[in-house]
Amino acid sequence: MRALRFTLALLLVASAAAAAVTIPPVDYRHRVLANGLEVYSVQDRSTPTVAIHVWYRVGSKDDPAGRSGFAHLFEHIMFKSTKNMKSEMMDRLTEDVGGFNNAMTLDDATAYYELVPSNYLETLLWAEAERMGSLNVDEANFNSERDVVKEEFRFRVLAPPYGRLFYAIDRDSFSAHPYRRPGIGSIEDLDAATLEDVKSFHATYYRPDNAVLIVSGDFDQKQLDAWVDQYFGPIAKPETKIPRVDVKEPARTEEKRVDELVPNVPLPALAINWLIPNAAHPDAAPLVIAATILAEGESSRLQEKLVRGEIAQEVTADADLREDLGRFTVVAFMATGHQPPEAEKVIRAEIASIAAKGVTAAELEKAKNLFLTSALRERETSNGRAFALGEAVVIHEDAAAVNRGLEQIQAVTSADVQRVMKKYATDAKPVVIDYREKPAPAEAAAPAGGAR
């Protein structure tokens, strides 16, 4: 219960192209209640608002068997009734007083968050404790919210031209780990979910020793500690063990190629990815820098070669870092008249070149500056700082990573980037997805060799 205060030296970032920048560290306090709840607080009294986050260590990878999409559906249900709260009361306590609330379901965690005028801090601590302690949802509410999630599925997956691509990448990329199941689920699995599943999921995962409370913004430290004790302290820590995913994803032994043929694709796309270690691994930082050098900004390697080269309309590269393992993914959205294999050739050649020769000092510095500026933008607000801290604690499994992560990025060398591209990409096996329009039925039925 003792509050620890971490005093952090300011991070000084020197740069040849510009003056040194001082990044204010996220200065957090940490304590653990007797029931296991971890509490972090970051004070900033410059504006009278406060962000309250509760991150649960349960995500889509914990979806029960035959219930893909359940952790996300459950997240929606958390806005329905509890013992002492009516459905949508969370909106009354946030939106109605000039704040907002939302939640997100990740592969590894589910985060619930609110930003409110700071005089409502106690109210929101009560409300978050309330839904951690109990859920009390009826069949009608459950069915209606499940319909909303099915519409979310249509909105994200079925309606946009590249929706089915992002839906397919995890499924095609992981062979054993539950990361392979789509977090949004499928209409079938959503239909199979029951109110009983909801109760059991809450009992299993929504408990103080599986949660992290983060309060960021305008508060009085002593008062905050007292309220946290008052509202969260009484929630019992269950005796049962928390189930954890322990499936090991096997290394890829061969290259895998997948054709995704779907309706409504105006221009084809290519996705290629390799497995990488987890977020806490020391190679995470060089992988992030590699992705930035490959595709962040118009002067990045792939933007110059593919977009300026008129092969693709857009290209992205991403070191998707998760708790168990991640994937390094490059996606090219093709330009008119160009096909995925052309993009694949260029992407593989660039990655091979980094693996063989490393990157230039200018590229390295540019990538670090881009990363830093975007971190600054995230950390401009109390809510943004709470997100950065939540990600460090839950995904990177180390609160100090919220500040150390920036230092690690600064320390990356060309040899590091070269080494990780060789180890995880050129010396390993990719999954390559060719995404394009499904031929119309009449065409498909035409005899082979028929005129077009």
Report the residue from 60, 105, 110, 118 that binds another protein according to the rule CB under 8 A: 118
Which of residues 145, 260, 320, 350 is near another protein by CB under 8 A?
Answer: 145
Site for another protein in 35-74 (CB under 8 A): 46-49
Q: Which of residues 198-227 bind another protein (CB under 8 A)?
A: 218
Query: How many whole angstroms separate alpha carbon 189 and alpha carbon 199?
Result: 17
Q: Is 151 in the site for another protein (CB under 8 A)?
A: yes
DSSP string, 51-120: EEEEEES--GGGPPTT-TTHHHHHHHHTTS--SS--TTHHHHHTGGGT-EEEEEE-SS-EEEEEEEEGGG
On whether the CB atoms of residues 29 and 3 are closer than 8 A, the answer is yes
Tell me the two tokens of residue 420.
Answer: 């990780």
Position of tokens 């089915």?
Answer: 164
* Kind of pairing between the strands at 38-43 and 28-32: antiparallel
Note whether 357 binds another protein by CB under 8 A: no
Dihedral in degrees, nearest 10, Cα atoms 205, 209, 212, 218: 130
Q: Which of 5, 34, 66, 92 binds another protein (CB under 8 A)?
A: 92
267 touches another protein (CB under 8 A): yes
Contact between 160 and another protein per CB under 8 A: yes
286 binds another protein (CB under 8 A): no
Please state the closest distance from residue 190 (CB atom) to another protein, in A: 12
Phi-psi region of 60 (alpha: psi -120 to 50; beta: other; left: phi over 0): alpha
Query: Interface residues for another protein in 288-327 (CB under 8 A)?
Result: 296-300, 304, 307-308, 310, 313
Does the protein bind another protein through residue 104 (CB under 8 A)? no
Which of 98, 243, 250, 439 is in the footprint of another protein by CB under 8 A? 98
Q: Are 60 and 105 in contact (CB under 8 A)?
A: yes
Within residues 4-33, the interface with another protein by CB under 8 A covers 17-24
Of 234 and 282, which CB lies nearer to another protein in the complex structure? Answer: 234
Site for another protein in 413-452 (CB under 8 A): none
Residue from 1, 3, 12, 159 in contact with another protein (CB under 8 A): 159
20, 394, 436, 437, 444 from 447: Cα distances, Å: 67, 55, 21, 19, 8
Per-residue x/- mask for another protein, residues 360 to 389, rule CB under 8 A? Answer: --x--xx-xxxxxx--xx-xxxx-------
Q: How far apart are CA 132 and CA 322, in angstroms?
A: 25
Site string for another protein, 173-202 (x = CB under 8 A): ------------------------------
266 part of the interface to another protein, by CB under 8 A: yes
